Structure formats: C-alpha cells, structure tokens
Amino acid sequence: YLNGEYWGIYYIREKINENYIAGNYNISEESVILSVANGNSSAEYKELISYVSRYNLADEEHYNYVASKIDIENYIDYICAEMYVANTDNGNIRFFKSSELDGKWRWIFYDLDWAFLDFRHNSIFEHLNPEGTGAMNAFSTRLINSLLKNQNFKEQFLTRMAWQMQNIWTNEKVLGRINELKELINDDMKRDCERWEYSYSYWDKQIQILITFQENRHEQLYNYIKNYFSLNDAKMTELGFQI
C-alpha cells in the first residue's frame, strides 16, 4: 500500500556489489575485488584469460596454475547451473575474489530473467562455442573451453553436471518450489493484475512455461551432452547421468 492505496506486489532484493559479497562471506568490503567478463574486466582476470589462450591446459602444470587462480568447484557449479537453466543472457558474468579468503576467483549465479524459457535451447553448444556468446565475444567462453582440454577437469565437470541434474534440478524439487511460490503469491497476483490492468491468465501461462521447461529439460540436456562430448549410453551412466 502507498498512502493507503493498494500498489501491487513489489520484490525487494540486494544489489550484487562488494557490500553484498562481504556480508555473505563475513569478510571486509575493502578486500573484495568484483569483476565482469568483458572488456572492463580487471587486469588480473585479463591476464588469466591471456594465459589460457597461450598455454594448453591438458598439461597439468598449466592446469594447476589456473586452478591456483580460480575456485574450480565453484566455477564448475556455476557453468553447470547456467547450462541447465538455459540462461540466454549468459554473457552477463560477474565474479569476485578476496584476499581474506584464498584469493581465488568465484562466480556469481544471477541475472536469470532469460532462463527457464525454452527447454530445447542448446546451452551446451552456446556456452562452449569457441566464438563466444552474446555479441560473439570469445572472451566469455575461452576459460571453460581451455579447461575442458584437461581430461581430469572434463571428467569432474561432467560428473558434477550429472550430480546436479539428479540432486538439484529434480522434478520433485523444482516443480515443488514453483508450485509453492505460485501458491504463496497467487491471491495477491490477482489483486496486482486488477491494480495494473493486465491479465492474470498471462501470468498463469508464464508459470506453465516454467513447468514445461522443467518437465522436458532433463532428456533434452542429456542428449545435448551426449552428442557434444561423443559419449555412449554406458559412459553417460558411468558419469551418473539418468534420463
């Protein structure tokens, strides 16, 4: 309500900045370096991308150097999640590091308003496109493509993707959460629609898009992964994938 008049539903969220990171990691704001994956990246990150461009990470010495600069597990989780939700605005990348942690870069999973839309979207190809994403900027995909040249990293990446699909992105959890949130605001959405003169049925259709995405995404992504990495069903099962 604003001055006694119903004003609809508003969402309050924190801005992703140094203060947000400091508060969540219990570190000082001054220790945080926040960067973006484009021409405005920090000099340190640009040097890292230059390194992976010059050296083959199939060589353990070069791979270990990169692993000393980034949180490998965090990066894998970030890429796997981006791929699953089919975030087509995936060139908008933020990451940070802090001298009060271990000084490694960590990625932030955010800006997902273009995610969970088309279950057919081949995010495996998009995220691994050597030409890059968005405005075809190779800067955005060079790190993951370089890391995948290392066989141990590739196995770790695929195993983690399988784990996420079987433990995080399950129908029980995702559909349950969608329905839970829908029920939470359903009555207020009807009032919001009346206040701002738009269709409740349109909102309901948007919810159905989320549901349709989840119901079909597993099988679609399974096939994209299998085809891109030239894996047979036995290897997919060994890695932990299920349809």
Can you tell me the mean pLDDT for 151-156? 98
Task: Tell me how long the chain is.
Answer: 243
Q: What confidence category does residue 21 fall into, taking pLDDT thresholds of 50, 70 and 90?
A: very high
pLDDT of residue 134: 61
Distance between CA atoms of 169 and 177, rounded to whole angstroms?
11
> What proportion of the chain, given as a percentage, has pLDDT over 90?
86
Residue 47 has phi, psi (to 5 degrees) of: -65, -35
The pLDDT assigned to 81 comes to 98
Res. 39 pLDDT band, cuts 50 70 90: low
Stretch 130-141: mean pLDDT, rounded? 72
Cα–Cα distance measured from residue 120 to residue 187, given in angstroms and rounded to the nearest whole number: 32
Q: What are phi and psi of 96, to 5 degrees?
A: -150, 165
Amino acid letter, 189: M
The span from the CA of 198 to the CA of 30, in Å, is: 45
- Mapped onto helix, strand or coil, the DSSP state of residue 32 is strand
Mean pLDDT of 25-37: 94
Range of the domain at 105: 18-164
Query: What pLDDT does 140 receive?
Result: 82
Alpha-carbon distance values, 10 to 13, 49, 126, 169, 185 (Å): 10, 40, 33, 27, 11
Residue 210 lies in a domain: no
Number of compact structural domains in the chain: 1
Three-state secondary structure call for residue 224: helix
The answer to the question of residue 72 being in a domain is yes
d(CA 29, CA 238): 43
**Does the pLDDT at position 78 exceed 70?**
yes
What pLDDT is stored for residue 36 in this prediction? 86
Whether residue 181 is contained in a domain is answered as no
In a domain, 138, yes or no: yes
| Residue 16 main-chain phi, psi, to 5 deg | -80, 100
In a domain, 122, yes or no: yes
- Cα separation, 167 vs 170, whole angstroms: 6
Q: Is 70 helix (H, G, I), strand (E, B) or coil?
A: strand
Task: Give the pLDDT band (50/70/90) at residue 136.
Answer: very low
In a domain, 194, yes or no: no
What the block records as the tokens of 22 is 């400091």
The pLDDT, as a whole number, for residue 38 is: 67
In a domain, 110, yes or no: yes
Query: What SS3 class is residue 214?
Result: helix
Predicted confidence band of residue 91 (pLDDT cuts 50, 70, 90): confident
Q: Pick the residue with more confidence: 43 or 139?
A: 43
Work out the pLDDT band at 189, boundaries 50, 70, 90.
very high
Are 242 and 233 spatial neighbours (Cβ–Cβ below 8 Å)?
A: no
* 228 within a domain of the structure (yes/no): no
Arithmetic mean of pLDDT over the chain: 94
How would residue 90 be classed by pLDDT, with cut points 50, 70 and 90?
Answer: confident
